[in-house]
């Protein structure tokens, strides 16, 4: 079995994942409590019936905001060699993806408002079979890695 790749994501990605989870949780909570208010008023159902679903939603929010980002960060690893991009990730099930450099069609850098606020970006490597992303890279590192992968792919494809 291969050793795990040595490179880790920037630690700030944990805060990005937490902010993303809080934004999503706020939207879900707003929808949940809106539906509860409508059902409560329309059917005259006791508010106590909504405590169990509310507790489940609250537990999910706590897990998504406090627990899961740290586990995801601990699992994430990546490496870019002359021949491949090796990515290991997962929460409960660890997944390892190896993308041969010769199969790379193009690379892309994405950074939405939350990533930008933390000075991070996500590198996406696209092949005919799909795309793989490495989130949580400092923007300069993502650009350098994108350029390296692109140059390696170009060299290998010209040599074929």
All domains of the chain in start order, with CATH = 13-72 (no CATH), 78-159 (2.30.29.30)
| Residue 3: other Cβ atoms inside 10 A | 8
Residue of 153, 143, 151, 156 whose CA lies nearest to 108? 143
Buried b (16+ CB within 10 A) or exposed e, 92-113: eeeeeeebebebbeebeeebee
Backbone dihedral region of 136: left (phi > 0), alpha (psi from -120 to 50 degrees) or beta? left
**Structure confidence at residue 107 (pLDDT):** 94
**Structure confidence at residue 30 (pLDDT):** 87
Reported in sequence order, the residue ranges of 34-90 that DSSP labels E, i.e. its strands, are: 77-80, 84-90
Q: What is the pLDDT along the chain (160 residues), one digit of tens a residue?
A: 789 999 999 999 999 999 999 999 889 888 888 887 777 776 667 667 778 878 888 898 899 999 999 999 999 999 999 999 999 999 999 999 999 999 999 999 999 999 999 999 999 999 998 999 999 999 999 999 999 999 999 988 887 6
Q: How far is CA 114 from CA 45, 110, 111, 133, 135, in A?
A: 40, 11, 8, 17, 12
**Structure confidence at residue 9 (pLDDT):** 96
Q: Fill in the DSSP letter of residue 9.
A: -
Its pTM stands at 0.86
Residue 12 makes CB contacts below 8 A (sequence gap 6+) with 118, 119, 120, 136
């Amino acid at each position: 079995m291969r050793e795990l790749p040595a490179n880790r994501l920037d630690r700030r990605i944990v805060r990005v994942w937490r902010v993303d989870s809080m934004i999503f949780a706020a939207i879900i909570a707003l929808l949940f409590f809106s539906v509860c208010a409508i059902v409560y008023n329309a059917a005259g159902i006791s508010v106590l019936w909504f405590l169990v679903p509310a507790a489940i939603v609250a537990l999910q929010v706590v897990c998504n905001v406090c627990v899961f980002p740290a586990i995801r960060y601990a699992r994430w690893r990546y490496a870019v060699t002359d021949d491949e991009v090796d990515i290991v990730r997962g929460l409960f099930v660890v997944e390892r993806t190896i993308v041969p450099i010769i199969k790379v069609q193009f690379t892309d850098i994405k950074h939405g408002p939350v990533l930008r606020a933390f000075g991070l970006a996500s590198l996406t490597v696209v092949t005919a079979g799909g795309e793989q992303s490495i989130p949580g890279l400092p923007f300069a590192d993502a650009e350098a890695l994108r350029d390296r992968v692109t140059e390696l792919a170009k060299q290998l494809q010209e040599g074929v």
